[in-house]
Amino acid sequence: MKIHEYQAKEFFRKYNIPTPKEKLITNLDEVDLALSELNFPIVAKAQVLVGGRGKAGGVQFCQTPEELKEAVKRILSMTIKNLAVKKLLLAEAVKYEKEFYLGITIDRERRAPVLIASAAGGMDIEEIALRHPEQIVITELSPFLRLKSYKAREVGNVLFSDKELVNKFIEIAAKLTNIFFDYECNLVEINPLVLADRELVAVDAKIVFDDNGLYRHPELEALRDLDAEEKSELLAKQADLSYVKLTGHVGCIVNGAGLAMATMDLIKKYGAEPANFLDIGGSSSPQKMREAMRIILMDKNVRGILVNIFGGITRCDDVAQGLLWALKEEEIKVPIVARLTGTNELEARMLLENSPIVFARTMTEGVKKIVELTRS
Ligand code: GDP
Ligand code: MN
């Protein structure tokens, strides 16, 4: 789960990472009040959960109240990558000498959390990696020991020649590490971390929480921005289905995560791309199947649906009932291939006898058929 810059900055303040003076506003009328607390120059920053807001014009520097009001009006009427800007962060602009990058994430190849730092801040880290790979310093962290101070010092010594600044860097890196582990994050990032008047200040802030750890931090749920989330994934969560939207054309409804993965692999093997991962779970009901169909049909990329069920506790006739229900209520224009095997397989077949569903006896046959039917 991603949170906005202004929310991430609140975590920074709680952990005493220096941030600029800021006020969040949601409309033009709030500018005057904000101005009673902020000094010019001021940066107005769109709060949207997508990258590249700066390039889209969502970050503007203003010298006067008139300029600021113009910028606020303009940014609040903007849509950046399909998301309407509803909130603006007004920040006292920091006059700085140099920009740095500091981030913590999980490095899957190293199988470890890593702290990444660079003296080439301001750009995306991907861009730094491309243009100045020699300027990136990476050090591994431990979930138990977190950031050992000698490691932080090694990194600090690469970025700063001044001992006092190295110490300040170590402090900030340690605090950022604590946020990362305390809240089980996927990413915490300061870009840029700026050097201004012998202080290090976090001018931007990004935090992404690991969804799998959220149940341990129920208070974070209140920070969720529903606008930024895939509607179908939200519906799936409510229906207790594991669903991940992907970009291919073959919709998949499968029971069991392992079988769902294997189905996706097979679809790729036969030359197509899955439109989603969807596991209806072990003990399914017609209702779950009905919901699964509703969710898959929301995706306009879907050219056909493969239902792959290995009936154990899941009864094939329950699945068939759900399919019939969906066929009755939705106008389905795409082909459906079903491979239903196991518990109550015959009952399922009888239920679907007069439906437009194409049957397959094996998984491979089902995949081949749906790939054939969805070929453009
Ligand atoms: P992003 O485009 O979403 O990463 O938004 P940032 O908050 O990082 O702002 C984009 C860029 O604007 C930064 O990399 C800085 O170069 C500049 N910027 C942002 N805030 C300030 C500030 O307070 N002072 C100065 N001088 N530049 C800033
Ligand atoms: Mn930034």
Give all domains of the chain, ordered by start, each with its CATH number: 21-92 (3.30.1490.20), 98-221 (3.30.470.20), 230-374 (3.40.50.261)
Rounded to the nearest angstrom, the distance between the alpha carbon of 130 and the centre of ligand 2 is 17
pLDDT at 232: 87
pLDDT at 228: 83
**Phi, psi torsion values for 110, nearest 5 degrees:** -80, -10
Q: Where are the beta strands (DSSP E) in 197-302?
A: 199-202, 206-209, 242-245, 250-254, 276-279
Catalytic residue among 5, 22, 189, 291: 189
Q: Report the greatest alpha carbon distance in the chain.
A: 79
Ligand 1 atom 14 nearest Cα: 122
Give 108-164 as a 3 state SS string.
CCCCEEEEEEECCCCCCHHHHHHHCHHHEEEEECECCCECCHHHHHHHHHHHCCCHH
Segment 259-300, tens digit of pLDDT: 999 999 999 999 999 999 999 987 778 999 999 999 999 999
Percent of the chain residues topping a pLDDT of 90: 89
Pocket test for ligand 1, best of 49, 92, 204, 206 (most atoms within 8 A of CB): 204
Closest CA to 1 of 225, 263, 312: 225
Give the chain's radius of gyration (CA, Å): 26
What is the distance between the alpha carbons of residues 344 and 352, in angstroms, rounded to a whole number?
13
Q: Is any ligand 1 atom within 6 A of the Cβ of residue 93?
A: yes
What is the distance between the alpha carbons of residues 167 and 27, in angstroms, rounded to a whole number?
40
Catalytic residue among 101, 183, 243, 291: 101
Residue 77: exposed, middle, or buried by beta-carbon count in 10 A (0-12, 13-18, 19+)?
exposed
How many CA atoms lie less than 13 Å away from 321 in the CB half-sphere? 12
Pocket test for ligand 1, best of 5, 9, 40, 43 (most atoms within 8 A of CB): 43
Q: Is any ligand 1 atom within 6 A of the Cβ of residue 91?
A: yes
Atom of ligand 1 nearest to the CA of 20: 23
Contacts for 145-149 with beta carbons within 8 Å, 24 or more apart? Answer: 146/174, 146/177, 146/178, 146/181, 147/115, 147/173, 147/174, 147/177, 149/174
Answer yes or no: 101 catalytic: yes
pLDDT at 281: 87
Segment 318-376, tens digit of pLDDT: 999 999 999 999 999 999 999 999 999 999 999 999 999 999 999 999 999 999 999 98
- Per this entry, what is the length of the chain? 376
**All residues at 6 or more sequence positions from 261 whose CB lies less than 8 Å from its CB, including other chains:** 277
Which H helix or E strand runs over 8? helix 5-14
What is the distance between the alpha carbons of residues 195 and 351, in angstroms, rounded to a whole number?
70
Tokens of 145: 């020991």
DSSP strand pairing (304-311 vs 336-342): parallel
Residue with tokens 């019939």: 324
pLDDT < 70 stretches in the chain: none
Which H helix or E strand runs over 60? strand 59-62
Q: What predicted TM-score, i.e. pTM, was given to this entire model?
A: 0.80
Q: Is any ligand 1 atom within 6 A of the Cβ of residue 304?
A: no
